[in-house]
Amino acid sequence: MKALVISGSSEIYDYVSPLLKEKGFDLIHYRWIVKALDNIEEIQPDIIVLSVIEYPRHWKTLAGFVQSGIGGNTVKVYLTETANFSVEDAAKADELGVKVFDKEFKERAFIPVEIAFNELHGMIHFESGKYYKDEELVELQFSPENEVSLTNDSYLNYVSLFDGNDITSCSAEVKEINGNNISLVVREL
């Protein structure tokens, strides 16, 4: 099995390579995405790992290229450093079948959702976001289109999620506000 790691960052490569070697992958490392694209047909990797921060637009091109079958029929693409991933990027990654990893390089599946919540002052907000669920945590992330008066540790009693099929109600606590990105931790589903 072959893993293609595309990153100019030695930190990412040094972190990812032991994990991939442990899983039985032979590693091929490229620092430049264009060179990797040129050689992907010859390499025929089983998985490709690259950084969203290093290649904020090119990962979509690579994923689409790989999806065409040029690099093999079952190539999986994994992204690292997705902390500031936009809602649009999350939806595009889902559409392209791209997997997303957090900083610890653990796979986290996400679902694009529409979010409705009441602010402390009674204002109702409707936002597009993404929903993560793993064994330890259920988390929502979104970038509000309008100004919200939330602070770190704000508690929201009424939050509704719509994933395109089902509506789920819950309460949530603000985990982090980072610029225009807000992360909520679901407390009761």
Tally helices (H) and strands (E) across the chain: 4, 12
Question: Tokens 């790989």 appear where?
Answer: 66
Residue 111 banded pLDDT, cuts 50, 70, 90: confident
Using alpha carbons, select from 144, 82, 86 the residue that is nearest to residue 115. Answer: 144
pLDDT digits (tens, 9 = 90+) for 1-41: 899 999 988 888 888 888 888 888 899 999 999 999 899 88
pLDDT digits (tens, 9 = 90+) for 122-172: 789 999 888 877 655 678 888 888 888 888 888 988 999 988 888 989 899
CB atoms within 10 A of CB 97: 12
Alpha-carbon gap, residue 88 to 50, rounded angstroms: 18
Alpha-carbon gap, residue 71 to 104, rounded angstroms: 27
Classify residue 189 by its DSSP letter: -
User: What share of the chain has pLDDT > 90, as a percent?
Assistant: 13
